[in-house]
Structure formats: structure tokens, C-alpha cells
Structure 1
Amino acid sequence: MRTSDLLQNKKILFWALQAAGWSGWGVSYYLGIMVWSKPPEGYEFYLPLVSVIGIGFTLLLRSLYQRTWHMALPWRGVALLGGSYLAALAWMGLRATLFQQMFPDEQLGKPDMAWYNYFSGTVSAFWVMLVWSVLYFGIKYYLLVQADKERLLTAMSMAQQAQLKMLRYQLNPHFLFNTLNAISTLILEQETQLANTMVGRLSRFLRYSLENDPMEKVTVAEEFEALRLYLDIEKVRFGERLQLHFDLPPQAREALMPSLLLQPLVENSIKYAIATAVKGGSIGVSAALENGELVLAVADDGPGLDMRVGRNAKGGGVGLGNIRDRLSALYGEGQSFRLGATEPHGLTTTIRIPLEYKEAR
């Protein structure tokens, strides 16, 4: 069983700590006896029996503490001190009785010192029980705090997943509206063949989009293939006016990235660089590995950043704002998102994220 499984199973953890703690007490007590005097024959059997009896009393203490756990703090303190002392009295009484039964020829000191020896032994037993009780409360509080932290982390993770799914699913209605509007235009213009082709490509892209879990990352190769599906649809609209360039080196193919992260950038370029230009334009999508990071870029040769400032002052609405939010939620400060100029004109969007690969199975 792994250590993490042990820590998760409270029953196994309790008994493992019991065995370790009482074994440690028995060994240290036996070594102490050997230092001060020679233990009687059979003492190595006496101590395990004493330890088992001690474990029995700690189980009674555990039951007491569970019953008083939700009481006010002073009452829990009374239960801890009182319970520890009563358990020590009973434990010491049974120890003395067992000792006399197993070693009748041994004397627990001088007869007139019997009560003193019993009292001093009870004080020692009280400290054993008190230490056990304090450790019990300490470990229980620690486990409760860890459980609260785990619940908080789980709640935060679920909230983050819900946010990412919401952001991811914002893309499909936005893209679907534009595509259906284009198909409607083709039908009105009686371009039925093109409209049919566009519907087929749309179904392939939506199938890919909906079959992939928004929380799962995909390889760069898979992301680029999804972009090709999307751009196949746009090719129907723009024909030769849309020129595409993909640059995916072999070493970057298996790197991981959020699914459909680049599609809003390409859609943005089509909207501002291709659709508004009489002769169309070109879009380039690239990936590279630099200094332990995956660098993704989408560049176009449209009018450039200056002419888009007014429209994109708040980050491009659903598109660019969506990407910023997803990157921030996934990578925190370990990512960057930059807009820059393409020479001689155009816009280049560059994303840097930590380099990750699928774990080998």
C-alpha cells in the first residue's frame, strides 16, 4: 500500500500509529529497566501484555474523546486530563497485578514503600496516557485541517473547471453564428454546392469540438488539425482571397496546449485582415520550442494593430478576452499573451506557455 493511501485511510493510519507508538514505548521501557537493574526472566513477555492492556485503555479514551469532541473546549480539557488520569490508575493497577502473578518472587521495592511505588508508577503511566491523548487530539485536528484544505482546493478546482468550460463553450455559439450566416447567404445566392460543402465541413469541426473535453489538453498537432478543419470552412467563403501558412516543426508536434486556443485568433484575423480587404490576405500559424516554453503565434498581413485599437480596446470581446482568461486560469503567471506588429503591416499574436508532454504509460 502506498503512503498516500495509508494517510487517506484513517483506520489503517490509527492502528499503524498505535503499533509504532506502543512498540516504541515498550522498547524504551525495556532498555531503561536493563540500565537500572536486571529484568526478571520472562520480562520480554510481560511488556507486550502491558502494552496490549495500554492499547485497550487508549481505545476507551478514544471513545470518550469522540463523545466529547463537539462539547465546549473546557469540557474537552476535563475529559483529556480526567480520562488520562483514570486510565493511568486502572492501567497501573492491572500492571501491578500482572507483575505479581508472573513474577511472584520479585518485590516492587520494600513493603512499606509499596504505596509510594504505586503512586510514582501511576504518575509515569499518567504521562504516557496524557502524551497519547495530546497526540490523538493533535493528529485529529491536523487531519481535519487537511480535510478542510482538500475540500477548499476541490471547490476551487471545480469552480476553475466550470469557468474554463464556460469560456471554452463560448466559442462554439460565436463561431456557429458566423458560419450559419455565411451558409444562409450562400443559399440565398443559390450557391447550393458550396453551401452543402460548408455544412459538411462545419459538422466535422463541431464533432471535433464537442468530442474533446474542454479540461483536457491536446497536442499541437491536434490543434493544428482542428484549425485546418475550421479554415476549410472559411476557404469556402473566401476562396483564393484566403492564403494559409502553417509552420509546425516535428519537435513541437507532441507538446500539449489547451484545445481550440488558437481558433479565436484565426477568426479575429479573418474578420479584420481578410474580410475587409478586397484582395484578401494571408494568415500564418506557427509553433516553436524556446527555453522550456511552447511559443504559439498567429500572424496576418491586415491593416495592423493601429487600425484595431478602437475596436479591440477591451481585448477583442469574446475572442481575445476569452484566451486571456483561459491562459490565466490554466497557467497563472507562467504564461504570456502579446499583440505585436507584423512587418511590413499586420498583427502578430504570440502566446507563451510552459512546455508539457503527455505522460508515458
Structure 2
Amino acid sequence: MKPDFALVPIEARRPSLFDRLFPVKRDLAIKSIFGVWGVYFFFAVSRILYGTPSNADALIVQRILMTSICITLTWFLYRLLVAVRGSGMRAAIFMLILPTMIFAIYIAVLDQIVVNDEVALFDFTYLLDPSDFASFDWPYIWDDAFTRYFILASWGALYLALSHSQDVQRMMVHSRQLERVNRESELRALRYQLNPHFVFNALNSVSSLIIDRENRQAEKLVDDLADYMRAVLTGGAQDMIAVEQEIAQQVRYLEIERMRFPDRLRYSVDIDPAANGWNIPALIIQPLIENAVKYGVSGTDQPVNIIISAQTEGDRLRISVANDGRVKRPVNRTDDRTTGTGTGLANIEDRLKAFYGENASLLLANNMDGMATATIILPDPSLIFQDIG
């Protein structure tokens, strides 16, 4: 059974004339070739006009002819360099020696033929006459050939250098793009690495409230949990967030946890008004709040106070989370299950390094009031890593 439709091949775009003539780095090749010989033509014509010969027009036409020949042979040299690209520097150097030398001698001989005939304007019939090579001024030809060789070889070296520079710049741009993508992926992975165990605890609390027929509280807990998760997930595209938004989000989290520990969890917030204008990495203090609840409130039957504070100190921002109890810094990151300060703190340190390099820090301490304190010190937002270019 034949299909009721036919596959029509998409016609490939035919390359233009310039694409065929200059298949590699067209703009660079055209600009450099015409630039070099354009300068040569300018000086040649300037010398003719300065001498004011009687047949200046014919000489200028001859210079146009020779310049066109030079441009054509330079294009051939360009195609030779294109043909050996990827074959190593030795092949390119060979092209700049032997073929270039032949081109230079050929140009010098043609130039001698053209210059020796002082003809009328646009009269090129002499080019068809046989040449008497014995009558040529060969010392002048060799001197002119050396000059032409120097120009051709200089152009070839300039083209290779600029071509290599473009390749390096392109690789640097590509590398920066990869670095930016990798850093964004790393930050996103670190942010999503945050332990969501409180979701399971909150769902267990909802189940308990339903069993106890506390439907209003269960409904409120579900709404609060949904709002918090929506803020976390929809805010995933934001790398930075305002201080007040970050702390408001963590307060919402504490309200959810207080449904589980209504008699044991107490918290307070102290934000310096000057700190509200700062932007900080999203969810950067979430592991600190989570540890304070998990290992402060859950680990005792006594009421536990959690204090969140944010103050500016000169050109730095200090954000602290303190809770009743003592803290012991783990020896390595695998100690999270025993001390509660491994993976969460490692997550913060990795994200701070990704954002600020060595300009930010995380400090753990036991203060004089018997509270375990975790402090994040952030520099001025201008010190956040920026992409170059």
C-alpha cells in the first residue's frame, strides 16, 4: 500500500560565490588580503603622482593590473593555507616558503614586463608579445621578488596569527559558556540537595491531626506546606534573593515545624533594616534552620529557642542562626548522621565558594549564652563571580 504522502527532500542552501571563494574565515581573509594590497596600491600611486610623469594615467592602470594579480596570487596562497589547516605548523610554514617564493618571483617578472612597456591608457596588447628574458633587469627582479615575498609571507603570517587568535577567542567564549552552565548546574544541584525530610515529618503531622480530627489545623498545615514548597520550587530559577524574602521563607518553614512542636519550638527574628537591601543566595540559610530544628528541638523535651539575625558590618553582611544547645564541628562530611552538621554545612560552603570564591565564610561557635551559633559572612554583592565577555 502506497502512502498518501510523499517525502520531499529539503533543498540544501547553495553556497554563495564568496562562500566558495573563501570557505574559511571569509571576513578575515577578505579584509586582510585587500587591506595589505590596498596599502601597497596607495603607496605605489602616491609615488606615481609625486613624480608627475606624462603617462601617469597609464601607470596607474598598470598598478591596478599588478595589484589585481597580487590579490589573485594571495588568494591562491590563502587556499593553500586552508588546504593544509589541521596538518600542523610545519605544513603552513612550508606553504609560506616554497609556494610563496614562486608567487613572489612570478609577480616580479610580470611587474618587469608591465613596467618596461610605457604604453597608452588601457593598451594591454604588449602582454601578448613574446618577452625577451635576456633583456630583463634581473638584479631588480630579484630585489623586487624579495619585497613581494616579504609582503606575501607577512600576510600569511598575519592571517595565521589572526586566525589562531579568533580560534582561541572562540574557545574561550565556549569555555566561559560551559563554565557558566556548569556553575549554574552545580548551584542548582546543591540547592536541590537540601534534605527534604521535613516534608515527610509534616505529612506525618498532617496524618496525626487527621486521626485526631483536628481538621482545621491539618488543613492549615497542608496549605502552609504547599506555600513553602511552591516558593522553593518556583524560586529555583532565582540564584539570588532579597534578605527579607529569604528569612520570610524560613519563618514559613518554622511555622510548619511549630505545628509539630507547639510547646518546644520558639523562634525570633532580628533583621537590621540596612540588611534588607542585600541579595543573598536563595535557601542559603535553610540547612542552618533545618539543623536547628532537627538537632535542637527534636533532640530534647525542653523548649528550644531559635534566633535568626541579619546585620551589616561595614561592607559585609552577617547572618546568624542560633539555637539552644552545643555544636561540635565534624571531622569530615560523612559525620552528618551523628552530629547533624555535615551535609547541610558542606552544601552551604560549596554554594558560597561557587558564588563568592574565598570572599565568604561559614563559622560555627558556642556563644556565652549556651547557644550553638552558625554564622554566614557575605561580602559586598559586587564580589559575586561574574562572567567575562
TM-score range, shorter chain: 0.7 to 0.9
State the alpha-carbon separation in 1 of the partners of residues 198 and 33 from structure 2.
Answer: 62
* Residues 291 and 340 in structure 2, CA contact (< 8 A), matched pair in contact too: no
- Report the CA distance between 1:307 and its aligned residue: 10
TM-score (norm 2): 0.74
CA radius of gyration, larger in: 2
1:342 corresponds to 2:364: no
1:263 corresponds to 2:286: yes
1:71 corresponds to 2:80: no
4+ residue runs of structure 1 moved beyond 4 angstroms? 9-31, 39-53, 93-105, 306-315
- Secondary structure at the residue paired with 1:334? coil
**Equivalent residues, number:** 343
* Residues 271 and 310 in structure 2, CA contact (< 8 A), matched pair in contact too: yes
Aligned pairs for 1:68-217 (under 5 A) are 68-93=84-109, 95-96=111-112, 114-171=137-194, 173-214=196-237, 216-217=239-240
- Report the CA distance between 1:79 and its aligned residue: 1.9
* Counterpart residue identity of residue 328, structure 1: K
Structure 1 residues 307, 81: closer, same or farther in 2, change over 3 A? closer
Report Cα offsets for 1:170-200 as digits up to 9, x if no partner. 2263342332233233334433322211110
- Secondary structure at the residue paired with 1:333? coil
Report Cα offsets for 1:61-112 as digits up to 9, x if no partner. 222211111335443332222232233234445555665678769xxxxx96
- Secondary structure at the residue paired with 2:141? helix
**Gaps in structure 1 of 5+ consecutive residues:** 1-8, 106-110
* Counterpart residue identity of residue 237, structure 1: R
Match of 2:7 in 1: none
Higher deviation after alignment, 56-65 or 131-140: 56-65
Structure 1 residues 11, 214: closer, same or farther in 2, change over 3 A? same
Structure 1 residues 55, 352: closer, same or farther in 2, change over 3 A? farther
TM-score (norm 1): 0.79
State the alpha-carbon separation in 1 of the partners of residues 166 and 202 from structure 2.
Answer: 54
State the alpha-carbon separation in 1 of the partners of residues 329 and 379 from structure 2.
Answer: 32
- Report the CA distance between 1:147 and its aligned residue: 3.2
Identity %: 27
State the alpha-carbon separation in 1 of the partners of residues 268 and 111 from structure 2.
Answer: 86
State the alpha-carbon separation in 1 of the partners of residues 377 and 119 from structure 2.
Answer: 77
* Residues 161 and 215 in structure 1, CA contact (< 8 A), matched pair in contact too: no
Structure 1 residues 232, 83: closer, same or farther in 2, change over 3 A? farther
- Secondary structure at the residue paired with 1:171? coil
* Residues 272 and 312 in structure 2, CA contact (< 8 A), matched pair in contact too: no
* Counterpart residue identity of residue 292, structure 1: D
Aligned pairs for 1:38-53 (under 5 A) are 38=51, 40=53, 41=56, 53=69
Match of 2:17 in 1: none
* Counterpart residue identity of residue 58, structure 1: T
**Gaps in structure 2 of 5+ consecutive residues:** 1-23, 122-133
- Report the CA distance between 1:218 and its aligned residue: 1.5
Q: CA RMSD in A?
A: 3.7
Match of 1:329 in 2: 354
* Residues 273 and 280 in structure 1, CA contact (< 8 A), matched pair in contact too: no
Match of 1:3 in 2: none
